[in-house]
A and B are shown apart, each in its own frame.
Chain A
Amino acid sequence: MIAALGLILGVIVGIVMQPSVPSELQPYLPIAVVAALDALFGGVRALLAGTFDDRVFTVSFLSNVVLAAFLVFLGDQLGVGSQLSTAVVVVLGIRIFSNAAAIRRYVFKA
């Protein structure tokens, strides 16, 4: 419940405030969004499995976004930014898919 409240408030704040993102942060935005999606799908799956925990969700959300952004930053510094971005997107994409499949099994029993 607390997590849902936080998420809804965050979306409202983001839409209402619409602060401009500094251009140095722009490259990390797509990866951050994908990481957030991964955390969200993981959370929903845990919720359906009955193992959901606010603290774990928050920490995994935060660490996902920060780590994904950090990996892209590191890649940029090493000159392999696009490759590392691809790696992050592939791994997170597979996880999103598996979690979505699990959610589908819980919801549709199929």
Chain B
Amino acid sequence: MTPQPDRDQDRAATGRQRPVDASMTLLKEIMERPLDPGYAEATSRSVSGERPSQSTPSKILTIAVLMALTALVTVAVITLRAPQEDVDEARTLLENNIQDRSDEYTTRKQTVDSLEGEIRQLQNENLSLPGQRLLEAAQQMGISTGATAVEGPGLTIELRDATASDGEELTSEDRVQDFDLQVVVNGLWAAGAEAIAINGHRITAMSAIRSAGDAVLVDFEPLQEPYEVEAIGEPNRLETGMAANQAGQHLQMLMSAYNIGVSTKTSDHLELSSGSDSVREADIETRPEDIPGLLSDDDNSTKSSLPGGES
């Protein structure tokens, strides 16, 4: 009882062999007969003379139907293409808007930068005439308020958002928040920091650390993670001070409970740019090396502020 004879019997019974692709008739139909079979039938009918050539009313009907259909399709194409253009237009408009505004921002910032540089220079020139003491006082205050660029040994604390494990979204709790930075900055002040900057933004007497959505803003400028808090002061004192006060505990808590990356390192030489000291508007300056002329002004000021300078 092998299956072979049975199959032969089947074939003999049906009288024909089953095609190999019998299960794919639908695809075969689509692939091999893409043309409407109506065309072939119509041709054979007109050849055999079964159907007379079209009458005038039927011709008009054909034209009318085709016209209506084509008009519909044309309108469909036009309609489908139209919203795309609208969206594109709106997008271009917004893009131009953004571009214009940021250009304006850059130019205004440059104006502010150059004006502040001028103010500093004039201050130095004028104050050096009545007396060195006033100038030195102004310089000292500038360090405290953040108006003067400073350099010296200090401490750098870096905060990183927790890394998301597979398939998990980062919640706002896993990110460094404005409050964390506020605590760290206040802790550094308490530990004896003389000047502080976050990601190069000098914290001045009028700086604000806030948040908008998930972004942390320092003086209304959004910052990118990782957040690098640089503080100038005696490194050892800063480190022990931070370890002892509340900010240290807060950092420990961030590390252990929220898996936020905290790294601290001391360095012998940090350079902090000057921040804005304008009263009406708390604005952040770029690093002094980015502004032509400003750094040289500062150099002049330090020279002229030296007691007994070669003049």
- The answer to whether B34 and A99 have CB atoms under 8 Å apart is yes
| Interface residues in chain B, defined as those with a beta carbon under 8 Å from any beta carbon in chain A | 30-31, 34-36, 38-43, 46, 54, 58-59, 62-80
A86–B62 CA distance with the chains assembled, in angstroms:
30
A9–B58 CA distance with the chains assembled, in angstroms:
17
Q: A2-B62, A46-B35 are in contact. Are A19 and B30 (CB under 8 A)?
A: no
- The answer to whether B43 and A65 have CB atoms under 8 Å apart is no
Q: Which residues of A contact B58 (CB under 8 A)?
A: 55
Q: How distant is B70 from chain A, measured CB to nearest CB, in Å?
A: 2
- The answer to whether B66 and A7 have CB atoms under 8 Å apart is yes
A36–B35 CA distance with the chains assembled, in angstroms:
14
A74 an interface residue at 8 Å Cβ cutoff?
A: no
- The answer to whether B40 and A33 have CB atoms under 8 Å apart is no
Q: A51-B39, A53-B38, A102-B34 are in contact. Are A10 and B76 (CB under 8 A)?
A: no
A18–B219 CA distance with the chains assembled, in angstroms:
53
Known interface pairs A32-B73, A36-B70, A62-B69; 10 further A-B residue pairs with C-beta atoms within 8 A, sorted by A's residue number: A7-B66, A14-B71, A14-B75, A15-B78, A18-B78, A45-B34, A53-B39, A65-B72, A65-B73, A99-B34
Q: Which residues of A contact B75 (CB under 8 A)?
A: 14, 17-19, 21
- The answer to whether B72 and A54 have CB atoms under 8 Å apart is no
- The answer to whether B42 and A56 have CB atoms under 8 Å apart is yes
Against B, the Cβ 8 Å flags (1 = close, 0 = not) of A29-67 are 110110010000010011001111111111111100100
A-B contact pairs, 22 of them (CB 8 A): A2-B62, A6-B63, A6-B64, A10-B74, A14-B70, A14-B74, A15-B78, A18-B78, A21-B79, A29-B76, A33-B73, A36-B69, A42-B36, A50-B43, A53-B42, A53-B43, A53-B46, A54-B62, A60-B36, A61-B69, A99-B34, A99-B35
Q: Which residues of A contact B59 (CB under 8 A)?
A: 2, 54
- The answer to whether B62 and A14 have CB atoms under 8 Å apart is no
Q: How distant is A5 from chain B, measured CB to nearest CB, in Å?
A: 6
Q: Which residues of B contact A11 (CB under 8 A)?
A: 70-71, 74
A14–B66 CA distance with the chains assembled, in angstroms:
12
Q: How distant is B117 from chain A, measured CB to nearest CB, in Å?
A: 60
Nearest chain A residue, comparing its CB with the CB of B59: A2
Q: Which residues of B contact A56 (CB under 8 A)?
A: 36, 38-39, 41-42
Q: A19-B75, A65-B73 are in contact. Are A6 and B31 (CB under 8 A)?
A: no
- The answer to whether B39 and A94 have CB atoms under 8 Å apart is no
**Interface residue tally on A, bucketed by range:** 35 or more
- The answer to whether A13 and B34 have CB atoms under 8 Å apart is no
- The answer to whether A3 and B66 have CB atoms under 8 Å apart is yes
Q: How distant is B57 from chain A, measured CB to nearest CB, in Å?
A: 12
Nearest chain B residue, comparing its CB with the CB of A21: B79
Q: A13-B67, A15-B78, A17-B71 are in contact. Are A58 and B34 (CB under 8 A)?
A: no
A29–B80 CA distance with the chains assembled, in angstroms:
7
- The answer to whether A65 and B63 have CB atoms under 8 Å apart is no
A91 an interface residue at 8 Å Cβ cutoff?
A: yes
Q: How distant is B227 from chain A, measured CB to nearest CB, in Å?
A: 45
List the 6 closest pairs (A to B, CB-CB), nearest first.
A10-B70, A14-B74, A6-B66, A98-B34, A53-B42, A14-B71
A9–B63 CA distance with the chains assembled, in angstroms:
9
A77 an interface residue at 8 Å Cβ cutoff?
A: no
A52–B89 CA distance with the chains assembled, in angstroms:
44
Q: How distant is B43 from chain A, measured CB to nearest CB, in Å?
A: 4
Q: Which residues of A contact B42 (CB under 8 A)?
A: 51, 53, 55-56
Q: Which residues of B contact A98 (CB under 8 A)?
A: 30-31, 34
